[in-house]
Amino acid sequence: MMKKSLLMILFIGVAFCLESLSQYQGRVEGIAVDPEGNPLEKVEVTIISQKVPTARFELTTDKHGRFVQIGLFPGYYQVNFKKTGFAPQSVEVKVSIAEATKIEVKLEPAEAAAALAYSEADKLFLKGNKLYAESKFAEAAAAYEEAIQLNPAQWAYQMNLGLALKKMERTEEARAAFAKALELNPASFSAAKEMAEGLARAGNFEEAKKYFKKAVELSPDDPDAFYNLGVSLVNTGESEAALDAFLKCVQINPDYADAYFQIGTLFVGQNKVKEALENLERFLELAPNHEKAAVARQLVEFLKKSGLTL
């Protein structure tokens, strides 16, 4: 009877944690070189936040081919490189708290016609970014699509097209753009995350978990990625694997309140009352005013009345 009662109270919705902010900052520093390893001066470098595309920084390399940008909030950024006579390059980097993210990019010479097309594509990309920042998402998407026609190999164009389409709620087209971005840049955490979140919103948790797994592989110290993986696993009925993901989440971030709630409810399902109480009480300690706090308090009261707290 006890087991049945415990299992019945597990019908509680789970939600994805899609964003988190930090009060701390990091920096990016790097060098641009030619195919022989010679430093390239006056390379235009644009750093764009994947979380807040309106947050962008523009600088150029010095005579040693180096650049430094400080004051960046933790998260993922596109770093775009452009120089006349060379094919543009774009990489994704992760900025961590109070650390320097170091990168080196090699620019390949481009023939005059190709360089002209790349330059025009880059102008369209920057135009799209400006329109996106102004919330003109349809116009931004059109600019990105034009840029893709001129340079279909640039993953960043596809990534930003997906973001614009997402804002327009053209979800299937957005997922197609993110899939193409990930195909062009398999190391892109942001593309994997966007793919996963889009599939999860559509209720396709079986496919979503594949991309969340890729996200945690690409960023094994990202608590949000593990939390979202756990939510997908809950929805595919893989409670043990979900528990592992949530436990990893709080290992990375011991103050991740939502994960403690999920851990607690999963332990309830396993009739591990002591562990369930510990995690639900930790959740309430961290987030006493959370929307799920009332449910957590009911669970705690129920478990304590069960008499199986030892």
pLDDT, tens only, 36-50: 999 999 999 999 888
Q: Which residues contact 5 (CB under 8 A, 6 or more apart)?
A: none
pLDDT, tens only, 169-223: 999 999 999 999 999 999 999 999 999 999 999 999 999 999 999 999 999 999 9
3-state secondary structure 172-222: HHHHHHHHHHHHHCCCCHHHHHHHHHHHHHCCCHHHHHHHHHHHHHHCCCC
CATH architecture of structural domain 26-109: Sandwich (2.60)
pLDDT band at 24 (very low <50, low <70, confident <90, very high): low
Cβ atoms of 220 and 189 closer than 8 Å: no
Beta bridge pairs of residue 39? 33
pLDDT band at 22 (very low <50, low <70, confident <90, very high): very low
* pTM tops 0.75, yes or no: yes
Torsion of CA 256, 261, 262, 265, to 10 degrees: 160
CA–CA distance, 163 with 27 (Å, rounded to integer): 24
CATH number of 2-10+204-306: 1.25.40.10
pLDDT, tens only, 123-142: 899 899 889 989 999 999 99
CA–CA distance, 194 with 18 (Å, rounded to integer): 10
CA–CA distance, 212 with 189 (Å, rounded to integer): 9
Selection from 78, 93, 176 nearest residue 125 by Cα:
78
The CATH 1.25.40.10 portion of the chain extends over: 2-10+204-306, 110-187
The CATH 2.60.40.1120 portion of the chain extends over: 26-109
Cβ atoms of 71 and 38 closer than 8 Å: no
CATH architecture of structural domain 110-187: Alpha Horseshoe (1.25)
